[in-house]
Structure 1
Amino acid sequence: MKNKKIKIKPIRVKSTFIIFSLVFLLLSIQLFRRMVLQGEFLGNKAEQQFLNEAKISPKRGSILDRNGRELAVSGDVYKVNLDLLAMQEYCVRYNETKEQVSEEISGALGMDNDKVLSMLDKTDNNGRLLRGMTLERKIEKDKIDKLKEVRKTKKYNFMIIENDSTRLYPNNNFLAHALGIVDLEGEGVFGLEKYYDKELMGVAGIRIAELDKNASELPYEDVVYTEAINGKDVILSVDESIQYIAQTVADKALKDTKAKGVTIIVTNPKNGEVLAMVNKPDFNLNDPRMGIVDNEKLQQLWRNKAVNDVFEPGSTFKITTISAALEEKVTFLNDDFYCKGFTVVNGTKVNCWKPEGHGSEKLIDILENSCNPGFMELGRRLGQERLNKYIYDFGFGKPAGIDLTGEAAGIIKPTDQMTALDLATISFGQTDAASPIQILAALNTIMNDGVYSTPHLMKEVVGVDKNGGTSVSKPYEEKNQRQVISKDTANTVAKMLEETVSKGSGKQAYVEGLGIAGKTGTAQKANIGGKGYVEGKFISSFIGAAPYDNPKVSVFVSIDEPEGEHFGGIIASPVAKELFQQIFNQMGINPLKE
């Protein structure tokens, strides 16, 4: 029998070839998509499954006073993260329920079991269990030691324990508004903590280790470790002893006057260094919310009125007008003035604070008596353009540049919009608005031979190495220093301000032998959102420096809405007197021997 030849039809061969070709093409496309188009994504995803990456938090730098006393420090604590997917796999592998896991964790940390249990099912927006959920932060070492024992015994490798830090303020409400606070992430929220956040924060480190299928570290693999760089320390110009005096005096003033608030600033007038800054009422930095739920009330409590708020300064502003008038030679020491209790400007009667008037006066008299008509005359002689020039040169109408967050610029009437009536009222301290720090900086300019210096709190930023050694990485640099008035004019005004305290409206601030130069102020509170002023609401203030011919300290005092008497010479001057006496006693300085 002859073998039959099997005939393969060409159509079948072609069909088979086409099918295999299509399959090969599809496989090639999938391989290309997986290896090329999605290679990086899938590689990273796979890497995440067998790598444990832990962030190493740096230690936030400290904030210290000028003598190295700690005002804000960081304590070492811990935080716990959970890989919930790995926890789910663990429960399946070891036949354990999440309720049992929750009891173990809550028992070690002293947390509420229901709270822990409610967090073990958390998912992302795609419904996937979270791989790095933060369970708790700011945990003390003794609790972490218990948790580490549980992790070791139970093989809870889905728990990730990381270093964390907490911010501590050893003196509670000390320098509260200036220091500011940090949030849970250790980032500054306001104040110096916010302003110097970059220097204080440091740079986070990282630790990467390979894991096996049970999420345990492989002992034979190298661990990638980048050490955290701790933050730098910020050394302030603030003197803890002077700050304590200022706070004590402010507390007493708040109680005695039954006022809404008290603000005190103490500086070195020669270089703008802030030695103390107080706002009362204040708050405990270790419990900054103080149980307050209302956010608006909280923001008001945290508001640093020394730099964030502005008000019409009243007669303390007259130091600017008289300095400008002397510098421009539109007046002189033996100049004559007459006050009849008011001045009529373009048909509007503008009163002096003394209804019957002061009568005949010399230049020193209008300053000592704080005579409004006398200063309106100086303003008229200067004119809008020249007066505004000096107002801006003295630092009003723009942020002073102090190293604190939220500084107010103030409100200055533009020259081209200033009427004759505006000129009159601005000359004696109404219409324009300024912050306390701007007013004190203007006085400092006069007390520093006519040279403006920026008020500031940072003295230097210091780096600290592993061995505790320090090195200055950034000293304070003055950027806005300028000659505003001549030395002769400045010294003349300084002597006049000394006579204003020893003989005039500021005499309740007078202390024998200290040579205090100063000016009082009584400002009506403007009607916010409306016109005019609020009936019966005043801010009483005093600015001064001592000794007038070689100043060591300058002070600003304001009493917001005191009950009863409201004149600055009666309310604020005695507070300044007490400040000067205690500060000079603390400094051990006898001005007469300097």
Structure 2
Amino acid sequence: MSVCILCLGRAYKYTDGRTKVPLRGGAEVATNARRINGFISKRAIILLFACIILALGLTARLFYLQVLRYDYYESIVLNNVSATTTVSASRGVITDRNGVQLASNYTVYRIFIAPREIENEDQKTLICQGLSDILGVSVEKIREQADMSYYADRTIKKNVEEEQASAVKEFIADNKLSRQIYVEPSTKRYYPYNDLAAQVIGFVSTDGGMLGIEKRYDKYLTGTPGRYITARDAWGKSMTSKYETYVEGQDGYTVETTLDVKIQGALDAQLEKTYNESKATNRVTGIVLDVNTGGVLAMGTYPSFDLNNPYEIDDSILELFDGYEEDANQQRVLENDNYSNYAEVVYDFKNIKEQYSPDSDEYSEAYMNLLYSTWKNKSVSELYEPGSTFKVITTSMALEENLITPDTEFTCTTPYVVEGIKIRCHKYGGHGTNKFRWLLQQSCNPTLIQIAQLVGREKFYNYFEAFGYTSQTGIDLPAESSPIYHNFSGFNAVELATYSFGQTFKISPIRQITGVSTVANGGYLITPHIVSRVVDGNGNPVYNANEEPQRQVVSTEVCRTIWDILEEGVATDGGAKNTYVPGYKIAAKTGTSEVRDVLDDNGNSFLRVGSTVAFAPADDPQIACIIVCDEPMTSQIYGAYVAAPYVAAVMEEVLPYIGVERQWSDEERAKMNTTVRDYVGAPVANAITNMKNLGIKYNIVGNGEEVTYQAPAGGSAFNKSSGTVTLYSGDAVPNRYITVPNLEGLSASGANQRIVNAGLNPVITGATNSVSDATALVVSQEPAAGSSVLYGSTVTVTLRFIGDTDA
């Protein structure tokens, strides 16, 4: 027997004598063995490496899943075993400059159900009927949500008030439905002053701020919602879990504006009066601005809307333009397919409303068109030609270049011809030769053309740019419109002439008041702004407005000269004399410009824009005010009539409010109205002594010792120079009645005499400045003519200068 072995790669065999003998062919066998060993070794190594790589891959994958992607997969698991309830954050408050809230929040509730928690059909019916009775939602709509049995949250009603929410809570408790019905608190936006500065403040939709401050400062006002996470088992029931937690939200920041509620109220009241008298078919707008900081104290547009119900159109708006279509000029507007105004938008909706149902596309389109037109902030987003109010800017250029003085004489030649184009003065026959001071006060177009020609095309354009008229103001409100003007290459002799008196270019009202405020503050161009700062919950500022001026455009000395010229024009016989306020120095300029977007068959414009811009006190300006009356439909369409008196009324209310005291002249003091003291119940002797000390004329009726009645009544306005107080005593009874005379169209002296002769007391308001009162006429009276009043009662008349065309 022999045994074959392999040794050191060679083949041997042992004989029975245990002798080792090499096998025959050993080299071939050794080679084959080596090959087999090598193959086995390679496979082993490959297999080993494959196992190592697989192990590393599995390890890496496990590390990726369990470490790097832990949060992600944990959230998936948590989503399957937990329910998240959002806790709404309160939107930030908007305040005026004194901290008065303009936009705030109050608590409302969302009512929702968990369909997968409903146990049976009887319980479902109970829930549907019960919530329907409380919330006023149809049973069918609630059942539609309740049938979605796999859901844990289906909303039944949002913005539920406290009373209904309390009723739902009681229903839940009475029927043990705490797992099926939920009451979730949230907040709803509330505007305490309804339509005050509506286009400026804006409102909120489901997507955030929609208009005005609410939109521009949405990122500051929007808070971060909180979350309440509860763990649930496979059946959706609450269970104990370390993952139950509350993530606190962050309320929005407080936005502090430059607006002032009282000043805004004064402006809004006058805008409404402006509209009521002028019937401006393209709305009216106004601004009150701090000339030194650029802070907007008030900004409004009329008609306005209710911020708490922004998607509702008030019926009063539809009545504003009754008879609109009968006006000849408005007929032209209706017939023009390329132009429309606000009145036409209202008119179109009224027609659609009569012809189509509310669910029709035609009705929806017209409805939304009217809403958007009403929401639009006219002070910022609409353009107009400023007209003669721009003459303030042209004047500053010439004075800054030392080309004229206030006493330089010019001759008003009408028509004034520029490259074959005839430009007429608004005064028929012209103003003749006079000093520049007076010609500016009279708003003479040919004089301003000559001024612009002295300045020259290039310098005029440079000043035009420096005053900011080629750019937006940068006010922090959305949708500011950019000016429309000629490039310098197209700014030729005719454009130079028309620009000098504010025509053939378009700007926004905020741009014009900013330009005039540059003159009012001593020559510095400011950036108007509506928000002064934004603060967090701890009162720390996160945003502050930049109130530094952009640049100085003209010198303070030049500005002071213009202040004096404009104030003199208001106080005497200038075109802006309807802006006069007794006891205050008002600098003002009126303007009336053409609307060139629509022309008559002869190519002439027939619509006008009347405006007035003023600043005060004229010797130390603090505020500026502008009112723009777009397309008045009455016979008086000029800025001196449709805007100036209302600017005066704003100034008269605002100046004492901001601490500017009246400085009466002796003549003004004599005309000054006072308030009658209430003498009823006082001894007659004491009343007589008091009236003598005050210089009040009086009349005693009866022989009693105590005053039983008086006319005018205590608290009434009264003019000491022409009025008489009648006191009744003892058995004397006031029984003499007077019919109020018709005073419309009379001068101040004529009205005063007629009232006194009737046994009544006159109170004269409006244009009472020291000008020949032949042109200052009564435009309204209270009580109305023909009314029956007691002897000695007061009759208040409003005077206005009529006839200033102010082109």
- Identify the TM-score tier after normalising by the shorter chain: 0.7 to 0.9
The answer for the alignment partner of 2:592 in structure 1 is 522
From 222, 229, 234, give the equivalent of 1:213: 234
Q: Does 1:486 align with 2:555?
A: yes
* Inter-CA distance 41–391: structure 2 relative to 1 (3 Å threshold): same
Cα offset, 1:67, TM superposition: 1.6
Counterpart of 2:132, as a letter, is S
Q: Matches of 2:654 and 2:195 in 1, distance apart?
A: 20
Once structures 1 and 2 are overlaid, which stretch shifts more, 429-438 or 491-500?
491-500
Is the contact made by 1:151 and 1:157 (CA closer than 8 Å) also made in structure 2? no
Secondary structure at the residue paired with 1:526?
coil
Partner of 2:755: none
When structure 1 is superposed on structure 2, of 471-480 and 395-404 the one drifting more is: 471-480
TM alignment of 1:398-477, pairs within 5 A: 398-465=471-538, 470-477=539-546
- Aligned partner of 2:222 among 167, 185, 201: 201
CA separation of 1:322 and 1:121: change in aligned 2, threshold 3 A? farther
Partner residue, 1:10: none
Q: CA deviation at 1:533?
A: 7.5
Cα distance change on mapping 1:149 and 1:48 into 2, 3 Å: farther
2:402 to 296, 304, 329: 329
User: What pairs with 1:161-172 in structure 2 (closer than 5 Å)?
Assistant: 161-172=183-194
SS of 1:559 mapped into structure 2: strand
Query: How many angstroms apart in 1 are the aligned matches of 2:414 and 2:659?
Result: 45
Q: Which moved more, 1:488-497 or 1:113-122?
A: 113-122
Q: Which residue of 1 aligns with 2:294?
A: 272
Q: Deviations over 1:289-348 (max 9, x none)?
A: 224852111110001101111101100111111111221233333323211212111111
User: How far apart are 1:219 and its partner, in Å?
Assistant: 4.0
Flag the structure with more relative contact order, 1 or 2, with Cα contacts below 8 A and sequence separation at least 6. Answer: 1
Amino acid of the structure 2 residue aligned with 1:226: V
Q: CA RMSD in A?
A: 3.0
List gaps (5 residues or longer) in structure 2: 1-57, 315-363, 665-807
Distance 1:364 1:385 in 2: 25
Whether contact under 8 Å (2:117, 2:152) holds in the other structure is no
Letter of the 1:228 counterpart: G
Structure 1 residue 591, shift from structure 2 partner: 5.0
Structure 2 counterpart SS, 1:245: helix
Compared CA separation, residues 223 and 534, structure 1 to 2 (3 A): farther
Q: Does 1:70 align with 2:101?
A: yes
Instruction: Give the corresponding residue for 1:230.
Output: 251
1:415-465 Cα shifts (integer Å, max 9, x gaps): 111222112111111111111111111111111110111112212223234
1:389 equivalent to 2:410? Answer no
Distance change in 2, residues 1:329/1:385 (3 Å) = same
CA gap 1:298/1:95 in 2 versus in 1, 3 angstroms: closer
Asked if residue 184 in structure 1 is aligned to residue 257 in structure 2, the reply is no
Partner of 2:793: none
Give the AA of the match of 2:418.
V
Q: What is the TM-score normalised by the length of structure 1?
A: 0.85
Give me the identity figure in percent: 31
Structure 2 match to 1:174? 196
Q: Structure 1 526/81 Cα, relative in aligned 2: closer, same or farther at 3 Å?
A: farther
Q: What is the distance in 1 between the residues matched to 2:99 and 2:71? A: 51
User: Structure 2: which amino acid aligns with 1:383?
Assistant: G
2:652 alignment counterpart: 581
Q: Which residue of 2 is the match for residue 109 of structure 1?
A: 135
Distance 1:534 1:112 in 2: 60
SS in 2 for 1:485: coil
| Structure with the greater alpha carbon radius of gyration | 2
CA offset at residue 283 of structure 1?
Answer: 0.9
Whichever residue aligns with residue 646 of structure 2, its letter is V
Q: How many residues align?
A: 549
- Does the 8 A contact of 2:313 with 2:371 survive in 1? no
The TM-score, its normalising length taken from structure 2, stands at 0.63
Q: Which residue of 1 aligns with 2:333?
A: none
Structure 1: which amino acid aligns with 2:293?
Answer: N
Give the secondary-structure state (helix, strand or coil) at the position aligned to 1:426.
Answer: helix
Q: How does 1:49-128 map to 2 (within 5 A)?
A: 49-82=80-113, 87=115, 89-91=116-118, 94=120, 96=122, 98-120=124-146
- The range that moved more, 560-569 or 40-49, is 40-49
1:511 maps onto 2:581 in alignment: yes
Instruction: Return closer, same or farther for 1:171/1:252 CA change in 2, 3 Å cut-off.
Output: same
Give the equivalent residue in structure 2 for 1:343: 416
Segment of structure 1 superposing worse, 402-411 or 154-163: 154-163
Shift in alpha-carbon separation, 1:121–1:328, aligned structure 2, 3 A: farther
Taking the aligned partners of 1:50 and 1:304, their CA distance within structure 2 comes to 50
Change (3 A) 1:479 1:138: farther
Tell me if structure 2 keeps the 8 A contact 1:524–1:534. no
